[in-house]
Amino acid sequence: MASPCGFQVTGTVPTGLERCAAEECSEILGRSVTAQRGSITCTLESAEELAKFDQLRSVDNYRAVVGSLSNFCKGESTVLERLKTLPFDGLLDWTAALSLWQFHRDNLDHVDTSGCRSDQAGVNGSKELSGDKDESTSNGAGSDRQREIAPSHNQAVEGVEDTVERAASAGQGKRLYSSLLQNEGITFRVTCTRGGRKHGFSSPEAARSFGAGLADFFDWKVQLKNPDIEVLLAISGDEAKVGVALNRESKFKRNIAHFGPTTLRATIGYGMLRCAEIQPGDVVLDPLCGGGSISIEGSLAWPETHHIAGDIHHLAVQRAAANIESLLQEMNHGKEINHVKVDVCQWDVCQLPLRTSTVDVVVTDLPFGKKSGSRLANWSLYPKALGELARVCRPQTGRAVLLTHDNKAFSRALQRNGFWKRVKTLWLNVGGLQTALYILNRSSMLFH
């Protein structure tokens, strides 16, 4: 059962890689996709098609869209009250979102049972909602509702009327959507994010008000940890968007069991590899691999390629090897094909033990000079690394996709190196830092 607008799904994606994610989505789903800052949205033909959306490698988290209210936060002083009554106002159609939620729960929710989604866990990546300043999960009902019947007489009367009216329609949502919500005793929580401008209310307050309304409307019970349904309220400027979270575990954490201080999100690694236009048979190099996130993602997403990863630090090399081992064990356990074609070595990027002109593509995440290395060291590391990468990369057809926050040192190094031609620079948000993704082509000049 779909609402008139179809089954709309929004996926949050790394900021700066939206076009790349939209391309992947239209390749897999074969239909048009819109990209906004930090997300992509598309309309599915049926709830079953969610299984295809679930395969997308560029999406961090995804949600079913319930509705979008463009001027909801105008008239700031009444926003909290209106959030309480919003579920009863007929402005939100939950049909498609709850169908998607049901389908996801019955067919795709096998990954994680630990409950709350969390985006921290030492993974370097953009904040989930671009520009979000404030995020809060609320228990919705409870104490706030007690305070509704207010101090002045008039307010007290209004409060009583409101309570009576609500009691009459309490559980209305449960009745309306009974065919979609077969099980009794559904638990939920509301998570609110805000951005765009300052608001006269906090995210916990907004989540609590909306949660109180939902608890009445659906007759759902609040449960902060591991609820059945997580309702998302995203406020941006005057706009309020409501959605239902689908995946529980953020998808950018895939592949990695052993996190390091600068572990890159798998979704960012995927976007970088896509920008390199990987071809079957390519030899792909990550010479500063840390825990191996880029090479592992590359090997899984492009199984007909071979990956070589290395790092100067023995602990990073051990971590990369351990990540590959864990993945192989996990795959064997699930009886999946156990191919992770990644070789891991310890080396210095300035002196690689590789033959000249043997690598097709270099995809790497350089030390930003913050958590890894130093800005001072980058002035000498970047030019040497670019020179050595030019040596091992094939002239004319070789490509490099390099990520750094230290644009000054990188631009200078690039200017002085005649072997690389800059094709494009994308600007990414990585762990809250503005970083440049340089897409380079190897010139035809031979290396002597």
Ligand X SMILES: C[S@@+](CC[C@H](N)C(=O)[O-])C[C@H]1O[C@@H](n2cnc3c(N)ncnc32)[C@H](O)[C@@H]1O
**Cβ distance to ligand X smaller for residue 14 or 367:** 367
Residue 372 as a binder of ligand X (CB under 6 A): the answer is yes
Residue 299 as a binder of ligand X (CB under 6 A): the answer is no
Amino acid at 254: R
CB of 372 to ligand X, least distance (A): 4
Sheet with 342-346, edge to edge strand ranges: 342-346, 306-311, 283-286, 361-365, 399-404, 433-442, 420-430
Residue 316 as a binder of ligand X (CB under 6 A): the answer is yes
Amino acid at 361: V
- Indicate which single residue of 40, 83, 240, 288 sits in contact with ligand X (rule: CB under 6 A): 288
- Indicate which single residue of 211, 213, 290, 298 sits in contact with ligand X (rule: CB under 6 A): 290
**Cβ distance to ligand X smaller for residue 113 or 351:** 351
CB of 393 to ligand X, least distance (A): 16
For ligand X, which stretch binds (CB under 6 A), given 57-65, 94-102, 291-299, 337-345?
Answer: 291-299
CB of 290 to ligand X, least distance (A): 2
Residue 375 as a binder of ligand X (CB under 6 A): the answer is no
C-alpha–C-alpha distance, residues 35 and 101, integer Å:
22
Residue 350 as a binder of ligand X (CB under 6 A): the answer is yes
**Cβ distance to ligand X smaller for residue 132 or 365:** 365
Q: Residue 202: how many CB atoms within 10 A of its CB?
A: 14
Question: How many of the chain's residues bind ligand X (CB under 6 A)?
Answer: 23
If 0-12 CB within 10 Å is exposed, 13-18 middle and 19+ buried, where does residue 432 land?
A: exposed
**Cβ distance to ligand X smaller for residue 11 or 291:** 291
C-alpha–C-alpha distance, residues 97 and 330, integer Å:
32
Residue 387 as a binder of ligand X (CB under 6 A): the answer is no
- Indicate which single residue of 11, 87, 173, 291 sits in contact with ligand X (rule: CB under 6 A): 291
Residue pair 266/256 in contact by the 8 Å Cβ criterion: yes
Q: Pattern 225-264, binding to ligand X, x per CB under 6 A?
A: -----------------------------------x-xxx
Residue 293 as a binder of ligand X (CB under 6 A): the answer is yes
**Cβ distance to ligand X smaller for residue 135 or 365:** 365
For ligand X, which stretch binds (CB under 6 A), given 98-106, 228-236, 346-354, 436-444?
Answer: 346-354
- Kindly list the residues in this chain that would bind ligand X in the complex (CB under 6 A): 260, 262-264, 287-291, 293-294, 311-313, 316, 348-350, 365, 367, 372-373, 381
